[in-house]
Structures are given as C-alpha cells and as structure tokens.
Amino acid sequence: MRDCSRLSRRAVLGLTAAALPVSMATPAAAASTVIGGERLAHGGVQVSGATGLPKKLTARAWLVADYDSGEVLASFNAHRRLAPASTLKMLFADTVLKKFDRNERYTVTDADLADIPAGSSLVGIKPGITYTVEQLWQGVFLRSGNDAVHVLAHMNGGIGKTVAEMQAKADDLQALDTHVVSPDGFDHPGQLSSAYDLTLFARHGLKDADFRGYCGTRTANFPAGGKKTFQIQNTDRLLTGAWGLKTYDGLFGVKNGYTSHAGNTFTGAATRGGRTLLVTVMHPAEGSNAVYEQTAALLDWGFSHGRSAQAVGVLVRPASEGGAAASPAPARKKTQAASGASGSASKGPSTGRLVEGAGGTAVLLAAATALVVKRRRRAAAAAAEDQGTAVQGDEGETEPGGRRRRRR
C-alpha cells in the first residue's frame, strides 16, 4: 500500500508540473514535496523557543537535530539542494556496507580503478594487492578515497548498479532532495542533496555498529604491498585535531566533504551529558576550517541553548520502517535555488526533489540539465586549477595562509 501511494503522489505531481513552467506553477501544481514538516520548507533560519544561535554562520544551509528523537532543533534552508561532495559517501555506506563481511578479502584489478574521476581524493589502492573489506571501508571513511569506493562498487556489481541502489535507498529514507549520479560524491551535473537529507543519511548509518566504528576511527594501517603498510588518518578535523583546530569534545563522526568547485560540507555527531546531536553544514562562504568551526558552534548551541528549543521539524523514518509519506507543500514565488556542483544558483524548487512524471516532464528535465551543465562549465572555467581539473577531499583545500595543499 505504501508503494502504491508513493507512486501515485509522484505521478500526479510530475504530470501536473509538466504542464507548466516551474516558475509559473501554482501552489496546487507544486513540483516539490516537504519532508519533516512545513517549517522546513521555508528559507531562512527556523528556530522556536531558544535564542543564542551563533552569529557568524555563513553556510548556505545547515541543520541541528537530536539523534534519538529525530527532532530538528534549528535549521537554515534545510531542503536547499546543493552539491554534497564526499558527504554522499554516507549514503554509499548506508547502501553497500552490510553486503560484505568485513573479513572478506579482495584482490584489486585495473578495471576496478579505471573509472575514477581525475582529481579524486585517494587512499592509495593499487592493482594486484589484496585488501580486506574492512580496509576498503577504512579507505572510504578515513581518507574519503574514491579508489576504495570504486573497488567496493565494482564488488557490488558495478557503478551503475550501485548508483541505482543508492537512489533507491535515498527514496526509502525519504531523502527526496537527493539525486545520485556517482557513488563517490565527486562533482557531476545534477548530483545534489540537502542538509536535511545528509542528516538522514548520518542518522540511519550511525545505527549500524560498523558504520559508527569506521567513521569514528582516527588512524589505521593500510596495505602498501607485501608486508608493508602505511598509516592513514581521518580527515575529519574535529575528530583528530588538525590545521589549527582542536578536537571537539564528544564528537565521534561522521563525514566531511570538499571539492574545489562545490566547497566544503560536513555532517558531525557528538554526545554530551547523555544527549547526542547531529549537525550538517553545507557550503560556508569561507574555505578551510569554516565548515568545522560552524559545526562546532552549532553543536555548542545545541548542547546549551538548544535544550529549550521546540522542534521545528523532524527527521522522518524510512518508508520501509513505516515512516509517514510526505505531503506536498505550496511552492513559494521565490524558491531557494537548487545548486549544481559549482554552487551557483538555478531556478528549480528547493524543498524537495523535482519528481518525474510523463510526457512534458522530460522537457523540463532536459532544460534543467542543460542549465546545470552550462553553469557548471562556467564555474569550472573560473575555478579551474593549473590543469583544469576539480580537486576533491581535504588534501586539495587551501591551507591557512593561502598556500595550496595538493593531493598526493
């Protein structure tokens, strides 16, 4: 019955939206779906019953939620669709993690590494070396290694199959802002998520002991061939303390992300006094440490002022676990912009995914894709590095002082 109702909702919304340009759609013909409550559909800061929010928040979207209850304590543009960078690896783990025993061994081939995008963050996997599944996941979580992601995706039946399963998982989690193009989070036209969705991915993943263990691991020894190993360190600076940051008391994960085109994104989880909070911060105006500093500031607020906050929304349960289906929300005249990998704005709805109907919907999707590609190329030309490629992962960020830290 749940599947039928979901299909019906999406079909009706898609067919209605196809008949009108997005900018001219009436509230009754809105092509967006609000998950988590009506207040989360609105732009701007949403908070009730509490004061003292940090003043220097430059992120384009952020959200603070209670892990146990799922209550959203405060948010800013919760459903704004932005490039997720490597935080999308949380959804990859939600989808693939339980498919392989952690002690299973796999010998990597050239084909497993052939389709990794240039400029990717890498842990250093080599063809011909045998790795355990546990080591591959350490490469994913600690070093945000796209090479580790691609090996696991090929073990799972290939990139295409894995992307389809990730999209299905996002749909089940009711992460309707998320559109998956690749399993690694690298910049691709149309690959989008939101602060709300990333928080859903983190909350779901942290219920699994292996997920929780991997994202909280600070260092690990990684195979280098033969009996040799080298040490890898988690790039979550609030977890390990790096680049002038102190470790955040009580923080135990979950995932950071960066590309030179999309900027910084981070979802963190911390426990203090028996209470666990989740915070997602997307695309601060500043580079380097800002995403971690603003996450820490929001966690501080949640553990202090946030205790008196009244919920402005809720992290919904997965549809497969009986989570209530979303209800359509009226489209605002000036919706928050959906952003592509470049972080530039477009004119799509921000409060939910543009659902696909039949007939004229394909025209809208084609136009939206063309717009994203055009803006992505424009941003790439402006932000291109020496060799014109995007750089992903903490290894490519700008260090304090303006020096460029290159990926190994």
As annotated, the active-site residues are 86, 89, 144
Report phi then psi at 13, rounded to 5: -65, -40
Residues sharing a CB contact under 8 Å with residue 339, sequence separation 6 or more, in sequence order: 60, 80, 81, 82, 83, 192, 283, 345, 346
For residue 11, give Cα distances in angstroms to 1, 90, 180, 301. Answer: 15, 29, 20, 41
Residue 244 · residue 400 · CB < 8 Å: yes
Residue 205 · residue 94 · CB < 8 Å: yes
Which sign does the torsion angle of CA 174, 100, 143, 372 carry? Answer: negative
DSSP tag of 65: E
* DSSP reduced 3-state for 320: helix
CA angle centred on 183, ends 231 and 394, rounded to 5°: 40
Residue 138 · residue 105 · CB < 8 Å: no
* DSSP reduced 3-state for 192: strand
Cα 51 versus chain centre, distance = 28
Report phi then psi at 230, rounded to 5: -135, 155
For residue 177, give Cα distances in angstroms to 81, 195, 240, 253, 353. Answer: 6, 9, 31, 23, 4
For residue 407, give Cα distances in angstroms to 55, 67, 184, 263, 393. Answer: 33, 34, 16, 16, 8
DSSP tag of 62: E
Nearest to 313 by CA among 326, 301, 303: 326
Residues sharing a CB contact under 8 Å with residue 5, sequence separation 6 or more, in sequence order: 325
Q: Token digits for 38?
A: 């009506």
